[in-house]
């Protein structure tokens, strides 16, 4: 019986099977490994003194869970990196729709999984399983949706409407100044940001907005719209400061921490500062932090960087930030060399999200900005968030596979 002849690979298939960007992959693995070590150091005492279910005083609880999610996330990253990223275009609308539905479910009692009265979490299997935040999915869904639409922007023709009616003349004016083009993106952002913000997850809404704005900016949208939106954002924050007590409280703690009772709002800030200050140049040594013994709140989560500085010192902190900086710069390098505009915009959006998370987490710990509750990628405890981050890295690696080889003259 004759054997079937092997089908020749198409150009797209050959590109999709190209080599991964090794520097980017190694930086991800370095940060993940360091993050797991720091999480174990920062979390074992918290877990040891926690007798509630499911921890039950197990000092290895957080690290075992995070390591399991990290292993699963690496598998997801590898699988995603093997896909031709062009097929992600087909998934952008369903993914965005699913993320919006999940955000809506957060408001339904009995289906959501509120923690400390905040309704931003769901369970993996609705009624049981680990919790996750749908806003994590919404962030990447918005980036992919905007990237897919804006990558076709240069091919779209200007729309013309009848001049005989007031509506037609208004639409022509909106098209001429570029406003009509922004309407679909504005509607998506209003829906997603509204759903996330009213969960009392302002930091999540901020990250969604940053990813969307990065993609819009790089795609060539006029700078005047960003100035206008930025001014509107400042006005909205000012309005929230005046009308919302908890936002006003955050700003008061940030601006005047010395006037706030350390036991009443200023506790987290001051304990983080003490942790950083006691690290010195070279640190106390890995595992030797004093502040993690019940002083720094959430040492395994939002405040993990302060424990890292205390144990590894200023030198260790700079090395961690250097690795993040190299990862971000390499990501932008991949964006500049991507095969097409969709790949370029997708990488810019994802890497900008990563950069924003790193900046805001470190800035909160050091008192540069008000407390936002944003975690540190690859370091902070959160299994499903880690898996989504690694899946995002897989998307970037998939795009890196298809970077055209340099011409040989």
Which residues, listed in sequence order, are joined to residue 118 by a DSSP beta bridge?
Answer: 115
Angle, helices 341-365 vs 383-401, to 10°: value is 140
Question: Bigger pLDDT: 49 or 115?
Answer: 49
| pLDDT tens readout for residues 382-397 | 888 899 999 999 999 9
pTM, two decimals, is 0.89
Give the pair of three-digit tokens for residue 246.
Answer: 């908890």
Residue 203, in any domain of the structure: yes
State the average pLDDT over residues 14-35. 87
Residue 190 falls within a domain, yes or no?
A: yes
Residue 180 lies in a domain: yes
Structural domain that includes position 193: 108-234
User: Cis ω on the peptide bond leading into residue 305 (within 30° of 0)?
Assistant: no
Query: Residue 96 contacts by C-beta under 8 Å, 6 or more apart in sequence?
Result: 141, 142, 144, 145, 188
Percent of the residues in the chain that have a pLDDT greater than 90, as a whole number? 46
Q: Is the pLDDT higher at 9 or at 101?
A: 101
> In 3D, which of 336, 341, 402 has the Cα closest to residue 148?
341
Instruction: Render pLDDT for 211-245 as a digit per residue (tens, 0 to 9).
Output: 999 999 998 887 877 787 778 777 777 776 677 66
132 found inside a domain: yes
User: What is the number of structural domains in the chain?
Assistant: 1
pLDDT digit string (tens) for 145-165?
999 999 887 676 677 767 777
> CB-based contacts of 106: which residues, under 8 Å, 6+ apart?
112, 119, 120, 121, 122, 134, 195, 199
């Amino acid at each position: 019986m004759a054997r079937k002849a092997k089908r020749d690979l198409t150009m797209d298939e050959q590109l999709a099977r190209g080599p991964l960007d090794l520097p980017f992959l190694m930086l991800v693995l370095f940060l993940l490994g360091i993050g797991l070590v720091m999480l174990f150091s920062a979390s074992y005492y918290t877990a040891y003194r926690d007798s509630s279910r499911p921890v039950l005083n197990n000092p290895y609880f957080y690290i075992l869970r995070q390591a399991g999610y990290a292993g699963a996330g690496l598998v997801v990253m590898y699988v995603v990196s093997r896909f031709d990223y062009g097929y992600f275009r087909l998934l952008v609308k369903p993914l965005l729709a699913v993320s919006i539905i999940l955000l809506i479910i957060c408001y339904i009692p009995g289906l959501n999984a509120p923690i400390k009265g905040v309704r931003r979490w769901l369970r993996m299997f609705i009624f049981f399983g680990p919790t996750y935040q749908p806003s994590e999915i919404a962030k990447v869904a918005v980036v992919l949706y905007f990237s897919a639409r804006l990558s076709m922007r240069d091919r779209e023709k200007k729309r013309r409407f009848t001049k005989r009616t007031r509506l037609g003349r208004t639409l022509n004016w909106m098209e001429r100044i570029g406003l009509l083009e922004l309407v679909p993106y504005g509607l998506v952002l209003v829906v997603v940001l509204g759903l996330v913000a009213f969960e009392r997850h302002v930091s999540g809404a901020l990250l969604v907005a940053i990813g969307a704005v990065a993609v819009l900016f790089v795609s060539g949208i006029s700078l005047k719209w960003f100035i206008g939106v930025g001014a509107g954002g400042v006005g909205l924050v000012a309005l929230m400061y005046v009308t919302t007590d908890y936002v006003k409280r955050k700003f008061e703690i940030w601006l005047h921490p010395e006037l706030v009772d350390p036991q009443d709002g200023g506790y987290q800030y001051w304990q983080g500062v003490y942790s950083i200050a006691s690290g010195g140049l070279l640190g106390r040594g890995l595992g030797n932090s004093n502040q993690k013994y019940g002083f720094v709140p959430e040492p395994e989560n939002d405040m993990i960087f302060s424990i890292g500085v205390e144990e590894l010192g200023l030198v260790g902190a700079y090395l961690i930030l250097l690795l993040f900086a190299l990862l971000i710069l390499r990501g932008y390098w991949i964006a500049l060399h991507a095969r097409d505009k969709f790949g370029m915009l997708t990488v810019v959006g994802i890497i900008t999200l990563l950069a924003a998370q790193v900046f805001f987490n470190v800035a909160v710990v050091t008192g540069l900005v008000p407390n936002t509750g944003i975690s540190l990628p690859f370091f902070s405890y959160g299994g499903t968030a880690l898996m989504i981050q690694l899946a995002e890295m897989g998307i970037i690696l998939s795009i890196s596979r298809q970077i055209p080889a340099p011409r040989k003259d």
